[in-house]
Amino acid sequence: MGCNASTLAKIHNVDELILETGFSSSHICHLYNRFHSLDKDDKGLLNRDDFQNISELAVNPLGDRIINNFFPDRVDLIDFNSFARTLARFRPVENSPKKEPDSPEPINSRANKLKFAFQLYDQDKDGKISNNELLQVLRLMLGVQVTEEQLDNITDRTIQEADLDGDNAISFEEFKKSLEKVDVETVLSIRFL
């Protein structure tokens, strides 16, 4: 894929990016190529349409929301660094426990991974998954096989299950707590080539 220094040179602040994301330079290179293949009209930035052109994403029930997660704070275009940073959350967590206490939290930390998932639900960005928000996601994921009544039921149950402070919504803390038994580090990771 023509992965070499010249490609890297094209990327803005590449060293910083590598440091921040933890991707190796070949990862970065690979992603950069991907970025450009997604970028249909070579504008150096990606917009939502570019993402939506990925055919597989169209059949993904959460596709739209996942795309939205790539666009923080209502921006409509993202550059490569932002793109890579988002993907970096799904890097597997290194096993080496060389944690310096003052080092910043790695981008692929458990909390960050969960944050990404949490944002899928929390559409109004108020830091809470409300009953309604959960219902919408459920509707997306469950499709037509499940009746509205069942959906309600599941939603209620889920919220009750996770809701610790009784506000009938799931905060991020509660979200984390409800998944504390899940090996998120492994489950929410993919292998980048």
Partner 1 sequence: MHSPVLLQIVVLVTSTSFALWTADFPGSDASVISQILEPVGIAVESSQSSAPPLHRQYGVDTGNIASAAARAPVNDITDPIVSSRSPPGDQHRETEPVSFEIVKWNWEHAQRPFLIAVWIMVASLAKILFHLSSKVTTVVPESCLLILLGLGLGGIVLAATNRTEYQLHPKMFFLFLLPPIVLDSGYFMPSRLFFDNIGAILMYAVVGTLWNSSATGLALWGIKQAGLMDKKVDAGLMDFLLFGSLISAVDPVAVLAVFEKVHVNETLFIIVFGESLLNDAVTVVLYKVFNTFVEMGSDKVRAVDYVKGVASFFVVSLGGTVVGLVFAFILALTTRFTKRVRIIEPLFVFLLVYLSYLTAEIASLSSILAMTFCGLCCKKYVEANISQKSRTTVKYTMKTMASIAETIIFMFLGISAVDTSMWTWDSALVLFTLVFVFVFRAVGVILQTWVLNHFRLCPLDWIDQVMMSYGGLRGAVAFALVILLDKSKVKAKDYFVATTITVVFFTVMFQGLTIKPLVKWLKVKRSNQQKPTLNEELHERAFDHILAAVEDIAGHHGYHHWRDKWEHFDKKYLSQLLMRKSAYRIKDEIWDVCQKLNIRDAMSFVDQGGHVLSSAKLSLPSLPSRTSFSETSFTNLLRENGSGVCLDLQVIDTVRSIKDKEDTVMHHVLAGNLYKPRKRYQANYSRHFISADEQEWQDREVIQRNMRCRLESFRSTKHSVYQSKGKSRHKKSQKKHRSSDVNGEVPNGKPKRNISWQDTVPVVMTMESEEEEEENSGAEKEDDEGITFVARAADEVLLEGKPSSTLGVCQSPFLLPPSPTCAEKELPWKGDQGDLPACVSSETTKIVPIDLQQAWNQSISSLESLSSPPVSETQQLQRRTVPPTRLEERGAPGALARPPLDPFFQFPERALAAGRSSEEDSAECIQQQELRPLMSPDKQPRPGSSTGSAGARWPVQFNRAAQISLLKNVVTASPYKGSGQTDL
**Residue 176 and residue 111 in contact, taking contact as beta carbons nearer than 8 Å:** yes
CB of 39 to partner 1, least distance (A): 12
User: Residue 4 or residue 37: which is nearer to partner 1 going by CB?
Assistant: 37
Judged by CB under 8 A, does residue 71 bind partner 1?
A: no
The four Cα atoms 174, 86, 120, 111 give a dihedral, to 10 degrees, of -10
| CA-based nearest residue to 70, from 43, 51, 53, 54 | 51
Q: Which of 56, 78, 101, 107 binds partner 1 (CB under 8 A)?
A: 56
Q: Which of 45, 70, 79, 112 binds partner 1 (CB under 8 A)?
A: 70
Reading the block at residue 42, the tokens are 């070579």
Judged by CB under 8 A, does residue 68 bind partner 1?
A: no
Backbone angles phi, psi at 72, to 5 degrees: -70, 150
CB of 130 to partner 1, least distance (A): 13
| CA-based nearest residue to 192, from 57, 53, 91 | 91
- Give alpha helix (H) positions in the chain: 5-10, 14-21, 25-38, 48-52, 55-58, 63-69, 80-88, 110-121, 131-142, 148-162, 172-178, 184-187
**For residue 104, what are the contacts with CB-CB under 8 A and spacing of at least 6?**
none
User: Residue 101 or residue 191: which is nearer to partner 1 going by CB?
Assistant: 191
User: Residue 42 or residue 101: which is nearer to partner 1 going by CB?
Assistant: 42
Reading the block at residue 185, the tokens are 């580090």
- Single out the segment in contact with partner 1 by CB under 8 A; choices: 3-11, 13-21, 103-111, 184-192: 184-192
- The end-to-end CA distance of the chain, in Å, is 12
- Single out the segment in contact with partner 1 by CB under 8 A; choices: 6-14, 72-80, 90-98, 103-111: 90-98
By CB under 8 A, the residues from 93 to 122 that bind partner 1 are 95, 116-117, 120-121
Summarize as ranges the residues that interact with partner 1 (CB under 8 A).
31, 34, 37-38, 51, 54, 56-57, 59-63, 66-67, 70, 87, 90, 92, 95, 116-117, 120-121, 137-138, 141-143, 145-146, 149-150, 153-154, 156-158, 160-162, 164, 168, 175, 177-179, 181-183, 185-193
